[in-house]
Structure 1
Amino acid sequence: MAYDLEEQEQLASLKAWWNKYGNLTSWVLIVAMGSYSAWTGWNYYQRSQSTQASQLYDEVQNAVTAKDNAKVQRAAGDMESRFGRTAYAQMSALAAAKSAYEAKDLKAAKAQLQWVAEHGNEEFKAVAALRLAGVLLDEKAYDEALKALAGELPAQFAGAVADRKGDILVAQNKLVEARAAYLAALAATDKKNPGRQLIEVKLEAIGGSVPETKAAA
């Protein structure tokens, strides 16, 4: 089929443009299509990972309920190796630490808490640090317990951290420092928090005085 002059000029222009930019355009399209495919695949992968992690977390919880510590530790270890980047892994590790502690397996409890401290988000890391310090306190590893609380933790945990430091310092018979820690715990703990009363009792038990609170106007 013959083209008229105008169509031939348009076709010549298109061929010239393609010769100059066609290869680049093809690569741009390939990259764009590849990026879209990768994004779609990643979303599918994430959904799949979340579903599988959720199912394994249920297994951890069932083992906890059954008080089968050996199974809890196996399932939690599987979770950490396969789905370590998910929140389920952090929750499983904390549950496994509690299970191990109750089973008197302090080595496993510390290992699970240390895993969270190294891989968890800020909130989970703080919870793990507090619990790890408690386990180390039970073992009379006082310096290690204080070291577990030495890192930078979220502000909302300041009261709990100071309270735990006070407990460790009391165990070391460092009562002056312990009183200061309990006072710091009170200052950082909301007045409506039921845990304040226990902090006050511990402070008074080592010769400290609870600060007077101003009456509401």
Structure 2
Amino acid sequence: MDPLRTEEEQLEALKLWWEENGKQTVAAIVLVAAGWGGWQYWGAQEQAHREDGSALYSQLQTLVATPELTDIQKASIETLGQRLQNEFDDTGYAEFAALELAKYRFNQGDTLGAEAALSTINLAEARPEVAQLAALRLARAQWANGDADAALATLNSVSVSTFASLYDELRGDIAFSQADRVSARAYYQSALTALQNSDQGQASMQREGLLTMKIDSILVDDAAPVGDAE
């Protein structure tokens, strides 16, 4: 809807009202009408801004999901991601862009770049679901960059509900890499329990099998006899 046309229609209605009710209250009503028209204009501008962000984000998603990227497409991903973060930081698309950009960089082996992208998201102010996903991916990047302590601190920095199973699985992976098999097994079991208590889809069934394998491998290794010392 054209906001200027709407404002003109409101002013015409005000004119008719004034002709019927006199001039004594026209000043106050003009202020109200002008404010309402300005609000509608601002609302239309805001809607257009969000639609632009949505279109750019869709382009970014499509490119990130492309199996084999050309150099031009790779450059476009970086450009779109930066533009969304810089020009649409007043919308949720800036956070979504950071998540997509981090996923792309991580898959390209640029774990430092992935960490940098995710660090732009304020976990304390982001919506809960966004904060949980961002913290999970940030922790993965930090661990890949050799900072297990930072990864664990990131995992512990947000309240988790939606991704509880994935959080505990990552904690288990980190513990296992540090030779803390007891903690690793406990985290894997917790992750498996959380997964089994959630809605089961094909992906969940595959993860359940993987978690079971991780738990079983620790149990088998722990049960194996220790050879004679040389």
Contact 2:142–2:148 (CA under 8 A) maintained in structure 1 = yes
| Cα distance, 1:73–1:153 mapped onto 2, change above 3 Å | farther
Question: Which residue pairs with 2:79 in the alignment?
Answer: 74
CA distance in 1, matches of 2:159, 2:147: 21
CA displacement 1:90-141 (0-9 Å, x = unmatched):
3322221122122222222111122235464221221121112112222221
Match of residue 205, structure 1, among 194, 199, 217: 217
Question: Which residue pairs with 1:163 in the alignment?
Answer: 169
Question: Which residue pairs with 1:211 in the alignment?
Answer: none
Is 1:141 the equivalent of 2:155? no
CA displacement 1:153-177 (0-9 Å, x = unmatched):
3412111111111111111111222
Detail structure 1 runs of 4+ shifted over 4 Å in the superposition. 25-28
CA distance in 1, matches of 2:160, 2:30: 45
Is 1:188 the equivalent of 2:200? no
The TM-score, its normalising length taken from structure 1, stands at 0.74
- The one-letter code of the counterpart of 1:51 is E
Structure 1: any 5+ residue segments left out of the alignment? 1-17, 209-217
Q: Structure 1 vs Structure 2: percent identity of aligned residues?
A: 27
Aligned residue-pair number: 188
CA distance in 1, matches of 2:34, 2:157: 42
| Cα distance, 1:184–1:58 mapped onto 2, change above 3 Å | closer
Deviation at 1:30, TM superposition (A): 4.9
CA distance in 2, matches of 1:167, 1:155: 20
For the residue of structure 1 that corresponds to 2:119, the secondary structure is helix
Contact 1:69–1:103 (CA under 8 A) maintained in structure 2 = no
Cα root mean square deviation, aligned: 2.7
CA distance in 1, matches of 2:37, 2:160: 38
The TM-score, its normalising length taken from structure 2, stands at 0.70
CA displacement 1:177-201 (0-9 Å, x = unmatched):
2222122212222253312221121
Contact 1:159–1:185 (CA under 8 A) maintained in structure 2 = yes
